[in-house]
Amino acid sequence: MKRRYSIASESSVIVYFGTTIDPAISQEVQKAYHALKAKDQEGFYEIIPSYASLMVSYDVMRLSFDDVCEIIEKSIEGEKALILSESKIITIPVYYGREVGLDLELLAQEKNLSVEEIIVLHVNEIYTVYAIGFAPGFAYLGEIDARLATSRLASPRKVVPKGSVAIADRQSAVYPSQSPGGWKVLGRTPTAMFDATYEGLSLLHVGDRVRYESISKEEFLKLGGQL
């Protein structure tokens, strides 16, 4: 699909690279995002990537809609040759204990799998960060094994504990802070997803590659995990 530029508002342009969740489309978005971040264009206030689109909010005092489209298009073309380096894999330790894996049993029944099989399927995948949103540092990771694909809870929890590792549809995510939520919770990580001391504030950024690692209760507690 050819890139399609559209007005989002009088000061925002949205570029569509496709309309589906697809690793190849996501790669195009990531390339454009990194090229634009690196360019550090004056008057670009926000560069927000998502699954198949990217939005730029700009200063209308300095730039027109056409200027912005041209700058984005040129940056993308200029980076065409760029092959996203096989970025290092970020490992997120997870304690898959039943006291924190609030929906493990439910999912095991639903999928006709053992809890152990669920954990293996969840840690055996290397995920890509497709988008960040919902809350600061909340990263949408894709895709989980098709055998784990699941719907959201019929009634969302009012409180999902901080660090909860959860799945919904073909995606996985870690809740960076305590919040309401309807994803099915498999475990908990002691790693902070969002922290003022991190460079870039968020542990994960769009395009990063991630894997989960199963840890014991003792390791979880030693790493500062809270039950």
Partner 1 sequence: MNGFLVENGGMQCSIQDAGRRGLSDIGLTQSGAMDEMAFGYANFLVGNAFNTPSIEIAMGGASFKARSEMCIAICGANMQPTCNGHKIALWQTYPLRRGDVIAFGFASEGQFAYIAVAGGFQTPFSYGSYSTSIKEGLGGVEGRKLKAGDFLQTLDARCPVDRRKLERKFIPKYPDSITVRLVKGYQEAMFDASSQETFFNSVYTFRGEGDRMGYRFSGEKVVPLASGILSEPICYGAVQVPSHGEPIVLLKERQTIGGYPKIGSVIAVDCFKLAQLKVGGNVKFKEVSLKEAQRATRAFYTFFKEQEA
- The distance of closest approach from Cβ of residue 75 to partner 1 in the complex, given in angstroms and rounded to an integer, is 15
- The distance of closest approach from Cβ of residue 137 to partner 1 in the complex, given in angstroms and rounded to an integer, is 6
- The distance of closest approach from Cβ of residue 108 to partner 1 in the complex, given in angstroms and rounded to an integer, is 29
- The distance of closest approach from Cβ of residue 159 to partner 1 in the complex, given in angstroms and rounded to an integer, is 15
Per-residue DSSP letter, 146: G
**C-beta closer to partner 1: residue 55 or 123:** 55
**C-beta closer to partner 1: residue 7 or 89:** 7
Binding residues (CB under 8 A) for partner 1: these are 6-12, 14, 19-21, 33, 45-55, 57, 60-61, 64-65, 131-138, 140, 177, 194, 196, 200-202, 205-206
